[in-house]
Amino acid sequence: MGATLVLTVGMVGIFTALFVSLAAIGVFTNETRGVSKSLAVVEAFTTAPKSMQDELQPSFNDRVLVPLLNRFVGLGKKLTPADHGERIRHKLDVAGNPPGWTVDRVTSLKFVGFAGALGLSLVACLLLGVGSGPTIAVCVLAALIGYLAPNMYLYQIGYDRTAKLRRALPDALDLLTISVEAGLGFDAALSQVARNTQGPLADEFARVLQEMQIGLGRSKALRALGERTSLPEIRGFVSSMVQADAFGIPIGQVLRVQASEIRVKRRQRAEEQAQKVPVKILLPLVFCILPCLFLIVLGPAVISIIGVFSSGAM
């Protein structure tokens, strides 16, 4: 009985020792494998291309700000009219569709601007101890400015881009006319202008070519160009090209007329701006230049007169 008990205890001890040994070996092996995998992942991440690293490790803007703004899209749509999306889309087209700016992004920014400006103005008025009437007026004005801030930003970008389009259009039309008269087709001449020029007009011509390459007709692509801009000169050019394509009028002749008209309009616009200079300079002249001139010219005389009367009185 005692020998059997000792044998049983010995067998259990042997199996326990084997189990503990195998478990320890497995733990250490798994730990070594885990460390090796972690080192391999770190090495692969450090040697990966920049684009892959950006995709694997998004920025704070992509991780926090973008999801936060997306949560406010529904609230922003409740504060905007029904046709708000179409108007914002047109403003984005006029502004050249800035990277990261979409209709939903603008809608959420309008709500964030409204709420943020309202909260900041309310806190500022409470800290400064402003009365209830002025506090309400300041909060309403600040909330309105915050709500309209994205629209004003898009308007400014669109205005600057339209000015660049207006300046680049005469030279681009001259190059387009020369290319067509040299024997190139309209599409090839448009591609030549898009390659040899820079700026928003070259981007628009390149987009027209891309739309024609994916199957959109020339007339529809040109009409889309006119709808994406608010510049009357480009819309007139688009209308002339569409009519020439529809009625079979020689494109070179139409381009020559369009280039001449654009040159005349640019000269007239320069003369108009020159005639506005006297009116614009009137306020700085009256309130800034003339007072300084009077101080310089009459100041010594006034000081002398004051000195003479002071000595005479004594």
Interacting residues of 211 by C-beta distance below 8 A, sequence separation 6+: 220, 221, 224
pLDDT at residue 157, as a whole number: 92
pLDDT at residue 294, as a whole number: 84
Q: Cα–Cα distance between 34 and 15 in angstroms, integer?
A: 28
Q: Cα–Cα distance between 223 and 237 in angstroms, integer?
A: 10
pLDDT at residue 3, as a whole number: 56
pLDDT at residue 198, as a whole number: 86
Token pair for residue 267?
């000269």
How far CA 160 is from CA of 6, 164, 208, 306, in Å, comes to 96, 6, 21, 54
pLDDT tens track for 205-242: 899 899 888 888 888 888 888 888 888 888 888 888 88
* pTM for this model (two decimals): 0.67
Say which residue the tokens 């002025």 belong to.
Answer: 134
Given a contact cutoff of 8 angstroms between Cβ atoms, the answer to whether 196 and 175 are in contact is yes
Q: Which residues of the chain have pLDDT under 70?
A: 1-83, 312-314
Q: Cα–Cα distance between 165 and 234 in angstroms, integer?
A: 9
pLDDT at residue 32, as a whole number: 46
Q: At what angle do helices 132-181 and 251-280 cross, to 10 degrees?
A: 140
Of 241, 255, 236, residue with least CA distance to 173 = 255
pLDDT at residue 50, as a whole number: 57
- How many C-beta neighbours within 10 Å does residue 91 have? 20
The secondary structure of residue 132, as a DSSP letter, is H
What share of the chain in percent tops pLDDT 90?
Answer: 3
